[in-house]
Structure 1
Amino acid sequence: MTDKLRICFDEMVVYKDLKKSNFFSALSLPSFMRDWLLKKFQDDEGYFNSDEVAEFVRIYIPRKDDWIAIKNRVIIENERVKFLAKVSVDIDIKTGEVSFSLPDFGLASKDTIIENSVWDSCKEALVRGRETWGLIEIGYRPPDDYDMQFSRNKAKGANRGKIKLTDFKSFCPYTIDIDYYKDARREFSTSEWIDVLLGAVDYNASGYLGDEEKKLTMLTRLLPFVEKRLNLIELAPKGTGKSYLFGRVSRFGWLSSGGVMSRAKMFYDQSKRKEGLVSGNDFITLDEVQTISFTDVNEMRAALKGYLESGIYTVGNYEGTADAGIILCGNIKKETMDSNGYSNMFEELPNVFHESALVERFHGFIKGWNIPRMNDDLKISGWALNSEYFCSIMHELREDMSYRAIVDELIEVPDAADTRDTEAVKRIATAYLKLLYPNVREPSDIHSREFKRYCLDRARKMRDTIKYQLDLLDLEYRGKDLPIFSVRDDYDTQK
């Protein structure tokens, strides 16, 4: 299959050697940045000069601790400095002034400026999202160089030095061709494609010893990567790679491990008039959820219920919308795990999640005990899809509504089915369809047996676990089983 993968995806394939080499682990780089470097430095045989890569990382991928040194070079030494960073842009409504921030280094927009000539040359790349990864170049504009053409604000303190953006190049140096990706999927069988997906997120398919259920459970973690506002709960044993997949693979998500979470950080900060995490990411993962504390449980619970239901949140007089999925990840005791989902698995979660009305708004449950503990045999060592390219594809697929239309056409909804159950099953099935069968453009492109096995049945099982837990949490849900969703009788099963 390696030859087929390299032929079909050409430059979007890199050689990953996580089993034998700890070179990139020592550099503490996320997967998307590692694969970006591999694509840049690797030859056709998969070899690269580690000294060259290390030197590039030293110069262009600074640590947070390097920020003072960078400011010294820019402000005191009057140098222009280039490095890779995540950039957020803001346009002041009152003045028309364009500024930027570097969230990873704590540089706020009030201390920056993007001058007109630079903005004209790079605005197409910078306006695509709330935050954009790229190769930036920054310089300094001293107070004496202040030019009133950039601001009509004559208030006290307006004439002050600012760090200026002098150049920007997008982190993604190629155009994402979604149609090509969809068409390339046709060259692979379902089992081959499952292995391709595992390699794209750094896992070695052969390490699962042919256990398809374990492979698919692992890939279930990717569903929020491809489907908007897909809300999941996963409980799993320690060491199964939850933090790695949600926190190190994609640049479009956010992982929060333990600590304190507030409504202001998650949704909207009234004092700063700043949108929270849900507005700038495809998914928010609350890892080690048992150890997370909330500044105000009732406030957070109310905000979560509204957002999980509709994607709308209200804080004070501010109403916002977002598309980020919410994922809860926690560890599970062996005795609870051995019950295979037939005991109260949520009893150790924070109190905020002990309310049935909130739990019901999570679409599905991932049985993380079906995922093996991480070991060297599960680490990729071979040719695989570039993680940066793959996650960019997943990000783009979130916007494709055609898959949901296909799912609506294929699934038979029983009479009087609960609306939340129907939406949960359809949303999960849609995510599976995007992930496993991106080539499907119309219902007849997928066999009914495959759709049922890999999309519908798995969606039903994920929702059914939520239903069972609701039964344990609240007497109101007793005896309310999941409706029997099925593939429509008039579907062309001979396709």
Structure 2
Amino acid sequence: MVHSLDEKIKTIFPEESVLKNSDKYSVFSGFSIPSFVKDWLIKMFTDENDELDENGLKKFITNNLANNQKHVKGTLITDNKEVTLLARIVVEPDIKTGKLRFSVPDAGLKMNECEIPDYVVRDNPELKGGEVWGIITLDYLIPSGKEKGVILLEKFKSFKPYSVDVDYFASKRNQFSLMEWVDFLIRSMEYNPDGFDSFTQKLLFISRLLVFVEPNLNMMELAPKGTGKSYVFSNLSKYGWVVSGGTVTRAKLLYDISRESSGLIQQYQFLALDEIETIKFQDENELRGALKNYLESGSFTVAKYKGDSNCGLMVLGNIPLDENKKPLNKQYFANLHKFFMDPALLDRFHGFIEGWYLPRMREELKIDGYGLNVEYFSEILNEMRRVPEFEIVVQQLLDIPLKADTRDTKAIIRISTAYLKLLFPHVRTIQDISKEDFEEYCLKPAMHMRGIIKHQISLIDYEFRNELPDIKIK
């Protein structure tokens, strides 16, 4: 049976939507590919009648997926022919030589082995630095008079099949009710909204997207295992990165002095520290101090290097629950690494997501219908970070007491702004939204999320007051 929302999405977003179901996605079984790449491939191998060329897609993945190719170097050197890969590449400018170098981690190609010619960069400005996904064509060359060869990136096709226009996307919002729009967002996150228990639960679920749309937003979510935390942050956007386990160092996170290279915070728009209980922190006091400065101001200093970024930090962890599915310990952060047992550090996080109210992944939550192509969706979310009108509207709507704590105010404004972007992307002035809608769906959840942080800090250190400023709608 065709769902009414299917027809609506297909009609309103004819070029940007894609039919998502388990049958189509089964073609990727056995391959490790993020969703924004899967949707790009499905679109490429689907005809105008929504028929998927499974054989063509399987052949393309088998022959071109980088982490499926074990002999790339050998093929380039011995066969004297180009190699085409579907790959994630990491680009880093080499200051000493003036060249742009790249690596293909999944294919074992290292930074000091690979270069990008100037003519390729001219047509692809995204290759000037950082991580990008695309279809790459590689060749092997031994320059004249040189003993060492080099792998060249001869061609590059980016995963940007759309011209992304936020205003075009926002203009469609009025054709959906709020409930339809939330269901539409959940479908675009690759979940089935009909599998959720309530509208409140749906709103909580899409709060995971807040860090996708708002710069320098720092959040925490604790939830039981199996609620899809890792999936959302690993699969929906190439602009984010997930650190899961291992050791976090200042060099990895902020800046590597020995290599003179930026850390993850300057490479991505949001960074998720997953399974936070298992992560180890090197030189804890030094890293904690640098991180406090960054979370407060968006800038940091390492030795003589001063860095800035609008990357948000998302801390993800598990939490034990009782038989009523409520936290066993009233101190939610009790199981976190001692690195986080610093009230001044916790105070710099803007809000907290109560993940225990979200459902465990089950069959009825698997999408079966139309949603936005994840690649397009991730581009739209990323572009929203740069639209200034949303925060201006929030500032104009709020009545903030003069004695309000600045960190509380900043947190509530940022979370409210992020909700406004997600739920009401068409809003550009205060006339575009009712005060009732803004209060109910933007301000109240922002106050609640910040309130949890304040309450939890007060349980650790009684000098921190468990109260929020009386912020209201003007």
Is the structural similarity TM-score above 0.5? yes
For 1:245-284, list aligned pairs within 5 A: 245-284=232-271
Deviation at 1:103, TM superposition (A): 4.3
Partner of 1:208: 196
Taking the aligned partners of 2:205 and 2:328, their CA distance within structure 1 comes to 17
Q: What does the per-residue CA deviation read over 1:449-479, in whole Å, with 9 as the maximum and x for residues that have no partner? A: 110111000100000000100110112114x
Taking the aligned partners of 2:328 and 2:463, their CA distance within structure 1 comes to 20
Contact residue 320 and residue 327 of structure 2 kept, 8 A: no
Deviation at 1:107, TM superposition (A): 3.2
Q: What does the per-residue CA deviation read over 1:139-186, in whole Å, with 9 as the maximum and x for residues that have no partner? A: 01114365xxxxxxxxxxxx6311111111221122112211010112
Deviation at 1:283, TM superposition (A): 1.0
Deviation at 1:97, TM superposition (A): 3.1
Taking the aligned partners of 2:136 and 2:96, their CA distance within structure 1 comes to 26
Taking the aligned partners of 1:200 and 1:14, their CA distance within structure 2 comes to 9
Q: What does the per-residue CA deviation read over 1:167-221, in whole Å, with 9 as the maximum and x for residues that have no partner? A: 1122112211221101011211111000000000101011114x01110111000
Partner of 1:138: 138
Counterpart code for 1:351: K
Query: Which of these residues, 32, 45, 52, is aligned with residue 41 of structure 1?
Result: 45
Deviation at 1:47, TM superposition (A): 2.5
SS in 1 for 2:278: strand
Taking the aligned partners of 1:285 and 1:21, their CA distance within structure 2 comes to 25
SS in 2 for 1:476: coil
Pair 1:307 & 2:310 matched: no
Partner of 2:470: 484
Taking the aligned partners of 2:99 and 2:30, their CA distance within structure 1 comes to 41
Deviation at 1:481, TM superposition (A): 0.4
SS in 2 for 1:186: helix
SS in 1 for 2:87: strand
Counterpart code for 2:165: D
Query: Which of these residues, 349, 354, 375, is aligned with residue 388 of structure 1?
Result: 375
Counterpart code for 1:72: G
Pair 1:29 & 2:64 matched: no
For 1:436-447, list aligned pairs within 5 A: 436-447=423-434
Contact residue 319 and residue 327 of structure 2 kept, 8 A: no
Deviation at 1:367, TM superposition (A): 0.3
User: Judging changes above 3 Å, is the alpha-carbon distance between structure 1 residues 315 and 341 closer, same or farther for their aligned structure 2 residues?
Assistant: farther
Partner of 1:81: 83
Q: CA RMSD in A?
A: 2.0
Contact residue 341 and residue 465 of structure 1 kept, 8 A: no
Contact residue 300 and residue 352 of structure 1 kept, 8 A: no
Q: What does the per-residue CA deviation read over 1:357-411, in whole Å, with 9 as the maximum and x for residues that have no partner? A: 0000000000001101110101100111111110111011111111111111111
For 1:346-425, list aligned pairs within 5 A: 346-425=333-412
SS in 1 for 2:172: helix
User: Judging changes above 3 Å, is the alpha-carbon distance between structure 1 residues 357 and 165 closer, same or farther for their aligned structure 2 residues?
Assistant: same
Taking the aligned partners of 1:114 and 1:260, their CA distance within structure 2 comes to 31
Q: What does the per-residue CA deviation read over 1:311-333, in whole Å, with 9 as the maximum and x for residues that have no partner? A: 11211221111111111111111
Partner of 1:166: 154
Contact residue 162 and residue 376 of structure 2 kept, 8 A: no
User: Judging changes above 3 Å, is the alpha-carbon distance between structure 1 residues 49 and 143 closer, same or farther for their aligned structure 2 residues?
Assistant: same
Partner of 1:176: 164
Taking the aligned partners of 1:331 and 1:19, their CA distance within structure 2 comes to 31
Partner of 1:150: none
Deviation at 1:135, TM superposition (A): 1.4
Counterpart code for 2:468: L
Deviation at 1:116, TM superposition (A): 3.5
Taking the aligned partners of 2:307 and 2:294, their CA distance within structure 1 comes to 9
Count of residues in Structure 1 that have an aligned counterpart in Structure 2:
470
Pair 1:189 & 2:193 matched: no
Taking the aligned partners of 1:421 and 1:123, their CA distance within structure 2 comes to 42
Contact residue 336 and residue 343 of structure 1 kept, 8 A: no
Contact residue 88 and residue 101 of structure 1 kept, 8 A: yes
Deviation at 1:2, TM superposition (A): 1.7
TM-score (norm 2): 0.94
SS in 2 for 1:82: strand
Taking the aligned partners of 1:240 and 1:18, their CA distance within structure 2 comes to 19
Contact residue 336 and residue 345 of structure 1 kept, 8 A: no
Partner of 1:124: 125
- What is the percent sequence identity of the aligned residues? 43
SS in 2 for 1:22: helix
Contact residue 326 and residue 356 of structure 2 kept, 8 A: no
Partner of 2:114: 112
TM-score (norm 1): 0.90
Deviation at 1:258, TM superposition (A): 1.5
Query: Which of these residues, 6, 10, 13, is aligned with residue 10 of structure 2?
Result: 6
Taking the aligned partners of 1:340 and 1:413, their CA distance within structure 2 comes to 33
Contact residue 19 and residue 377 of structure 1 kept, 8 A: no
User: Judging changes above 3 Å, is the alpha-carbon distance between structure 1 residues 337 and 175 closer, same or farther for their aligned structure 2 residues?
Assistant: farther
Taking the aligned partners of 1:192 and 1:354, their CA distance within structure 2 comes to 41
User: Where do 5+ consecutive residues of structure 1 fail to align?
Assistant: 147-158, 489-495
Pair 1:62 & 2:66 matched: yes
Counterpart code for 2:44: K
Query: Which of these residues, 214, 226, 229, is aligned with residue 242 of structure 1?
Result: 229
Contact residue 256 and residue 284 of structure 1 kept, 8 A: yes
SS in 1 for 2:144: helix
Contact residue 337 and residue 369 of structure 1 kept, 8 A: no
Contact residue 199 and residue 380 of structure 1 kept, 8 A: yes
Contact residue 16 and residue 376 of structure 2 kept, 8 A: yes
User: Where do 5+ consecutive residues of structure 2 fail to align?
Assistant: none
Counterpart code for 2:139: G
Taking the aligned partners of 2:24 and 2:126, their CA distance within structure 1 comes to 37
Taking the aligned partners of 2:276 and 2:98, their CA distance within structure 1 comes to 42
User: Judging changes above 3 Å, is the alpha-carbon distance between structure 1 residues 341 and 388 closer, same or farther for their aligned structure 2 residues?
Assistant: farther
Q: What does the per-residue CA deviation read over 1:24-53, in whole Å, with 9 as the maximum and x for residues that have no partner? A: 343232111111111111234433132221
Counterpart code for 2:467: D
Deviation at 1:279, TM superposition (A): 1.0
User: Judging changes above 3 Å, is the alpha-carbon distance between structure 1 residues 118 and 254 closer, same or farther for their aligned structure 2 residues?
Assistant: closer
Stretch moving more, 219-228 or 12-21: 12-21
User: Judging changes above 3 Å, is the alpha-carbon distance between structure 1 residues 308 and 25 closer, same or farther for their aligned structure 2 residues?
Assistant: farther
Pair 1:316 & 2:303 matched: yes
SS in 1 for 2:369: strand
Partner of 1:343: 330
Query: Which of these residues, 192, 211, 214, is aligned with residue 224 of structure 1?
Result: 211
User: Judging changes above 3 Å, is the alpha-carbon distance between structure 1 residues 471 and 411 closer, same or farther for their aligned structure 2 residues?
Assistant: same
SS in 2 for 1:346: helix
Stretch moving more, 1-10 or 453-462: 1-10
Counterpart code for 1:444: Q
